Chains A and B, each alone.
Chain A
């Protein structure tokens, strides 16, 4: 089973700064199967990125995804106040889905 490890656990940044979140897979995976979600307290997850680098409908272009093989990255180019949240990566493999443990982006 492919395990996803996200780092760092918490990222403390100020509005306007750049955020770089990492998601590392225990085995190489098809980049088509890698997605990212944002979740705020008390809310459902929000779909951000699919296929490692494609933005979902309505997602601002300050969000970008990249990577291949075992290393994937979510970048938020300039943090807006509404971007402070927990971010999860997710992978698909053989009719099952696994999430990373999450990275919390908090206001510094």
Chain B
């Protein structure tokens, strides 16, 4: 069974940093592109970032470009999101998700971790 477990969320002051982790199990992690998607309280879904299987290609939404960095450690089956210069508008539940094998969608999701940016 595919499992994705996020951790690392919490309360951080504006301008601060946080690193999220997503531990993957139940599948060959190194063969799947991975994603971060966030959802502000009471709002819809927003794609944040993507990373290729090797980690050699990364992509970001304009709203986080230059502040967030996605990475992965295939030896540890773990996906990361380093978040710097955090703003109040980054407050959200952050989900990690796996790419659907041959399609352009996200077929498995973690339960999410809440990041709150507030003074």
User: Contact residues of A with B, CB < 8 Å?
Assistant: 32-33, 35, 37, 39, 43-47, 50-51, 54, 56-57, 88, 90, 92, 95-102
B44 touches A102 (CB 8 A): yes
Q: Given A96-B59, A96-B61, verify A47-B47 contact (CB < 8 Å).
A: no
Give the A-B contact count at a CB cut-off of 8 A.
63
Contact check, B103 vs A97: say whether CB atoms are below 8 A apart.
Answer: no
Q: How many residues of B contact A (CB 8 A)?
A: 21
Q: Does B111 contact A (CB under 8 A)?
A: yes
Residue of A nearest to B98 (CB): A47
Q: What are 21 of the A-B contact pairs (CB < 8 Å)?
A: A35-B105, A35-B106, A44-B109, A44-B110, A44-B112, A46-B109, A47-B100, A47-B105, A47-B108, A50-B100, A50-B107, A51-B103, A54-B103, A56-B100, A56-B107, A88-B45, A95-B50, A98-B47, A99-B45, A100-B44, A101-B44
Given contacts A47-B107, A50-B105, contact A99 B100 (CB under 8 A): no
CA of A57 to CA of B111 in the docked complex: distance in angstroms? 19
Task: Give every chain B residue within 8 A of A90 (Cβ-Cβ).
Answer: 45, 105-106
- On B, residues with C-beta under 8 Å from A are 35, 37, 44-47, 50, 59, 61, 95, 100, 103-112
Specify which of B47, B109, B110, B111 is in contact with A99 (CB 8 Å cutoff).
Answer: B47
What is the predominant secondary structure among interface residues of chain B facing chain A?
A: strand
State whether B104 touches A92 (Cβ < 8 A): yes
With A35-B105, A44-B111, A47-B107 in contact, is A99–B59 under 8 Å at CB?
no
Separation in Å of the A36 CB from the closest CB of chain B? 9
